[in-house]
């Protein structure tokens, strides 16, 4: 059986109530589902002996600006055993701008989620240390949001006096 | 050697205090290598035997600001880095000079972005803006020679004891981010 089919089958068996939206493009599999199942699905993908997605290579987000669910959080995970990359997606709306943290599943997600929080302002529930990654701690904005101007907000980043 | 041998017993030279201090000062400019990114690689090349900044008395790159006269800001200065650069500059003893090495430090360069300071002259007094991305080592030596030229023209009276005089100096507040 194709490994992609195996993943799909396993997920559908394990989570019959979850709706998985599968996309395949250029031989890459993307699975999109509701954000409240993120931790369960991720733990399963990691723990399942047939799949073993042991490495979370990246967590990031997309800002769709005018769309109803404004953000999409994207997880790129990798199975060392099968040399296979999988992309997980979950929509997050601006009014309820949070998603559960997967740093309990993959330690590596800790800083990647901090970066996503810094750049998009998406809160990660149950994150052990949700501080800004790049911008100064007192900075109030999230630079990769579409409504943030390219040159920043005048006066928001203080400079030393000349 | 020639002149010393000729003058060794009875010879003396007359000069002005200003002239001899400026002469000594300009031939022993000790740089603070504020290497932040890729320009620092070219700055290191300046110290090697091919370009040899020792010919100008500036081979002693001091990694403590307290022993330096010249700060070479080599690399992209972000808003987060700016207070650090300023703090190191403040620790250097007077008189001191600054070279803004490369496009990033002079104007933000290709980083027209919210995170990069669009020119370090917003928070540091810059003496030389050095073009290039990164500038060639020859170009950095040229900047150093320009600094030497500038130092050569200074007078001791231009450097009062700044510690006691510091309250009377008011510099304009240029803490402005350019709007896009």
Q: Taking 70 as the threshold, does the pLDDT of residue B160 lie above it?
A: no
pLDDT digits (tens, 9 = 90+) for A64-91: 988 888 899 999 999 998 899 999 999 9
Mean pLDDT of B139-157: 88
Question: How many angstroms separate the CA of residue B173 from the nearest CA in chain A?
Answer: 6
Identify the contact set of chain B against chain A, taking CB-CB distances under 8 A. Answer: 79-80, 82-83, 86-87, 112-115, 117, 122-125, 171-180
Please determine, looking at this structure, whether the domain spanning B29-155 carries the CATH number 3.40.50.12280: yes
Selected for mutation to probe chain B from A146, A147, A156, A159 (highest B CB count within 10 Å) is A159
pTM of the model: 0.78
Q: Do A151 and B180 touch (CB under 8 A)?
A: yes
pLDDT beyond 50 at A138: yes
Please name the member of B83, B125, B180 whose beta carbon is closest to the beta carbon of A160.
Answer: B83
- What ipTM was assigned to the predicted interfaces of this complex? 0.76
Q: Chain A closest CA to B112's CA: distance in Å? A: 7
Domain residue limits, chain B: 29-155
| Cβ within 8 Å, pair A136-B80 | yes
Residues of chain B with pLDDT > 90: what percent?
36
Burial label for A132, CB within 10 Å (0-12, 13-18, 19+), is middle
Tokens, residue B142? 């040229």
**Is it the case that residue B172 has pLDDT exceeding 70?**
no
**Which domains, from first to last, does chain A contain?**
3-125 (3.30.460.80)
Scanning every residue of chain A, which has its alpha carbon at the shortest distance from the alpha carbon of B112? A151
Q: Is A43 helix (H, G, I), strand (E, B) or coil?
A: helix
Answer yes or no: is pLDDT of B179 > 50: no
**pLDDT band of B136, cuts 50, 70, 90:** very high
From chain A, pick out residues whose CB is under 8 angstroms from the CB of B125.
Answer: 162
């Amino acid at each position: 059986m194709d490994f992609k089919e195996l993943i799909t089958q396993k997920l559908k068996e394990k989570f019959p109530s979850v709706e998985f939206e599968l996309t395949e493009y250029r031989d890459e599999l993307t699975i999109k589902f509701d954000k409240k199942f993120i931790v369960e699905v991720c733990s399963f993908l990691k723990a399942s002996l047939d799949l073993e997605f042991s490495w979370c290579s990246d967590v990031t987000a997309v800002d769709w600006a005018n769309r109803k669910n404004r953000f999409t959080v994207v997880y790129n995970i990798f199975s060392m055993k099968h040399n296979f990359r999988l992309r997980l997606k979950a929509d997050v709306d601006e009014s309820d701008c949070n998603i559960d943290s997967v740093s309990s599943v993959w330690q590596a997600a800790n800083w990647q989620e901090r970066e996503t929080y810094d750049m998009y302002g998406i809160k990660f529930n149950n994150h052990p240390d949700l501080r800004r990654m790049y911008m100064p701690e007192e900075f109030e904005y999230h630079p990769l949001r579409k409504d943030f101007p390219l040159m920043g907000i005048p006066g928001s980043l203080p400079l030393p006096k000349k | 050697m020639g002149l010393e041998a000729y003058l060794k017993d009875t010879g003396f030279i007359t000069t002005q205090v200003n002239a001899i201090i400026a002469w000594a000062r300009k031939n022993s400019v000790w740089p603070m290598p504020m290497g932040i990114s890729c320009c620092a690689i070219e700055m290191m090349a300046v110290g090697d035997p091919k370009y040899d900044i020792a010919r100008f008395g500036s081979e002693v790159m001091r990694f403590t600001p307290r022993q330096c006269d010249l700060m070479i800001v080599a690399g992209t200065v972000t808003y987060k880095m700016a207070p650090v650069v300023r703090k190191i500059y403040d620790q250097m003893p007077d008189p001191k000079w600054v070279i803004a090495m490369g496009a990033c430090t002079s104007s933000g360069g290709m980083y027209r972005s919210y995170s990069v300071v669009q020119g370090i002259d917003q928070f540091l007094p810059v003496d030389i803006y050095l073009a290039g991305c990164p500038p060639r080592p020859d170009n950095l030596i040229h900047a150093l020679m320009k600094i030497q030229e500038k130092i050569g023209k200074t007078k001791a009276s231009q450097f009062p004891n700044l510690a006691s005089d510091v309250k009377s100096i008011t510099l304009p507040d240029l803490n402005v981010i350019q709007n896009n």
